[in-house]
Amino acid sequence: METTIILVFVIGYLAITLEHNLKIDKLIPALVMMALCWALIALGLEHFPIWFDSAKHALLENFGMLGHEEKMHIMEETLLHHLGKTSEILVFLLGAMTIVEIIDYFDGFATIKGFVKTKSKKRILWIFGFLAFFLSAIIDNLTATIVLISILQKLINDRNTRIWYVGLIVIAANAGGAWSPIGDVTTTMLWIGKKVTTGHLFVYLFIPSLLCMLVPTFIASFLPVFKGDFEKTEDNIDKPKSRFSSIMLYLGLGGIVSVPIFKTITHLPPYVGMMLALGVVAIFAELYSSSKFTLSHSEHQGGDTVGHHSPVHSSLSKIEMPSILFFLGILMAVAALESLGILFGFATSLQDNMPMLGTELHHEGVSDLVVLLLGVGSAVIDNVPLVAASLGMFSEPIDNELWHFIAYSAGTGGSMLIIGSAAGVVAMGMEKIDFFWYLKKIAWLALVGFIVGAVAFMFTRTIF
């Protein structure tokens, strides 16, 4: 039964990568794959000897000896746990996307466009590279990617040129998220799990992460697509600007930045803070738009409302729901593999089969090659379950260099494939980027940055 589930996942994964060849939206195979994987688990529950308890990050070795009713209860609890964790990401994403759309409703990104005075393609690449790197550390790589792609869409009209910038933004955002406890979901997991502290994370990973961003950006700056200048277009010159655009930009970004502060003070999940930020931004948006606020009243009902559009309703209607459903499908499908202990077993077998390499490369006996493979694996599958598996696999104390290396590898390794990170998946949805285009044009740049940063970490850890 496990083989069948893995086969379903592989076929579904291939269908996602071949989206443009099959002419089927990627969310369809993701949802089908998720449903089939969990259906097969439910039907073959009696045949599974072990179960991975995600809440405790531990294997239930005696799972095969339990009764059917108890097994069903554990499966339902696990499914609910994964749905809750996935929903946290989706609700957070919905909030962030809505705030970004509200800012755009008031043409707020025109303010940032005004700051970018240069028309040089190379300078714009560096500006957005550094913006992605530092912004992702403050508001997380996912939100930073959404914000910067939204700005790019206003700045660069040619999509074929723009997707190159988006590819480099994904690399820079993932690199920036690795050295901040709130910059990436995996570093947040390690932080909450008391494996790393903020100070040590910065000391160990800032330089490797910076190099992971700088090297690909430097190489890319010599590519033909980034040579020359952009021409001024009518859209850039004549587009009207709302008088509230600057206020809504600072209010929206301020709301997003406040989320980690809210989390630190209340210890509540980030999505709660994001909903509060959305609520506050929405209040000002409604006031500034002078529209009537109602959940049921259509703008076409009644003459007094014609011409008045609710910015919140308008923004919600523009959200990429296919991307949200794709997230649901892919994360829940991976959760199915995690629940059966397949990912845990894979990581453990890697470690067991490389004991000599571990002794040579790492004085603690944990192979650097294993951690690097976890990074590559995070591009192919998903970094969240791999980090979850490592939390249960290794027993090193807090701020051990192993945890920081895992944070780096899992955080930046996903850049090697467009569906290997949350930032990449959002970019794929917002710009309809082809999987194989990214693999051919951007993946090698991400790989070079990943390796350079890893080598830098191996050097810096001997100093600190």
Could you tell me the pLDDT band of residue 452, with boundaries at 50, 70 and 90? Answer: very high
**Is the model more confident about 464 or about 341?**
341
Residue partners of 233: CB distance under 8 A and separation at least 6: 157
Which residue from 325, 310, 283 is spatially nearest to 30, judged by alpha carbons?
Answer: 325
Interval 49-65: pLDDT, tens: 888 777 666 677 777 77
List the chain domain ranges. 89-188+198-317
Q: How many CA atoms lie within 13 A of 297 on its CB side?
A: 14
DSSP structure class, residue 223: S
Quote the tokens at residue 177: 């998220």
Query: Per mean pLDDT, which range of 155-164, 371-380, 407-416 is the poorest?
Result: 371-380
Estimate to the nearest angstrom the gap between the alpha carbon of 20 and the chain centroid: 22
Q: Are 331 and 142 in contact (CB under 8 A)?
A: no
Residue 105, both tokens: 């409703």
Which of 128-142, 270-284, 301-315, 318-332 has the lowest average pLDDT?
Answer: 301-315
Q: Which pLDDT does position 201 carry in this prediction?
A: 86
Categorize the per-residue pLDDT at 218 as very low, low, confident or very high, splitting at 50, 70 and 90.
very high
Q: Which amino acid is at 404?
A: H
* CA–CA distance, 143 with 155 (Å, rounded to integer): 19
Q: Which helix (H) or strand (E) holds 22?
A: helix 19-22
Torsion, Cα of 257, 199, 203, 93 (10° steps): -30
Stated as kind and residue range, the H or E segment containing 59 is strand 58-60
Tally Cβ neighbours within 10 Å of residue 123. 15
The rounded distance, in Å, linking the Cα atoms of 99 and 402 is: 37
Q: Which residue has the higher pLDDT, 408 or 388?
A: 408
Alpha helices in 362-421 (DSSP H): 368-380, 383-393, 401-413
Encoding tokens for residue 332? 């829940």
Cβ neighbours for 298, distance < 8 A, ≥ 6 positions apart: 305
Name the burial class of residue 459, with classes exposed (0-12), middle (13-18) and buried (19+) by CB atoms within 10 angstroms of its CB.
exposed
pLDDT of res. 388: 66
Identify the CA nearest to 410 among candidates 257, 260, 262, 196.
196
What is the pLDDT, as a whole number, of residue 393?
66
> 73-103 pLDDT, tens per residue?
888 888 998 898 888 878 887 888 888 888 8
8 A C-beta contact, residue 397 and residue 360: no
Average pLDDT, the chain: 80
Q: Which residue has the higher pLDDT, 140 or 130?
A: 130
Angstrom distances, CA of residue 222 to CA of 129, 160, 165, 214: 15, 17, 13, 13
The pLDDT confidence band at residue 175, using thresholds 50, 70 and 90, is: very high
pLDDT of residue 107: 80
Binning pLDDT at 50, 70 and 90, where does residue 428 land? confident
Structure tokens at 111: 């303010």
Q: Which residues pair with 52 in a beta bridge?
A: 59
Asked if 354 contacts 365 with a C-beta cutoff of 8 angstroms, the reply is no
Examine the pLDDT at 213 and tell me if it is beyond 90.
Answer: yes
Q: Per the structure block, which two tokens stand in for 7?
A: 């086969």
Answer yes or no: pTM beyond 0.75.
no
pLDDT (mean) for 374-390: 74
In 116-269, where does DSSP find H-type helix? 121-139, 141-155, 159-178, 185-192, 198-220, 234-238, 245-266
Pair 353, 22: CB distance under 8 Å: no
Q: Which of 9-13, 76-80, 366-370 has the lowest mean pLDDT?
A: 366-370
Cα 266 to its chain centre, rounded Å, is: 23
The percent of residues in the chain predicted with pLDDT above 70, rounded, is 83
* pLDDT tens string 284-307: 998 888 644 444 444 444 444 444
2: helix, coil or strand? helix
Task: With beta carbons less than 8 A apart as the criterion, state whether 6 and 36 touch.
Answer: no
Q: Which of 87-91, 214-218, 225-229, 372-376 has the highest mean pLDDT?
A: 214-218
User: What number of CA atoms fall less than 13 Å from residue 440's CA on the CB side?
Assistant: 6
C-alpha to C-alpha distance for 387 and 157, rounded to whole angstroms: 38
Closest by CA to 456, choosing from 196, 211, 130, 198, is 211
Q: List CB contacts of 394: < 8 A, sequence separation 6 or more.
A: 366, 402, 403
Task: Determine the Cα–Cα distance for residues 347 and 374; give it in Å rounded to an integer.
Answer: 8
Q: Is-contact 280 255, C-beta < 8 A?
A: yes
Give per-residue pLDDT as tens, 23-40.
788 789 989 999 999 999
Q: Are 129 and 217 in contact (CB under 8 A)?
A: yes
What is the phi-psi region of residue 453: left when phi exceeds 0, alpha when psi lies from -120 to 50, beta otherwise?
Answer: alpha
- Cα separation, 235 vs 420, in Å, equals 34
Sequence letter at residue 369: L
Instruction: Give 68 or 213, the one with higher predicted confidence.
Output: 213
Query: Taking the CB of residue 233, how many other CB atoms lie within 10 A of it?
Result: 12
Of the candidates 142, 209, 216, 217, the one whose C-alpha atom is nearest the C-alpha of residue 412 is: 209
pLDDT in tens, 230-271: 776 544 444 546 778 888 888 988 888 788 788 878 888 888
Query: Above pLDDT 90, what percent of the chain?
Result: 19
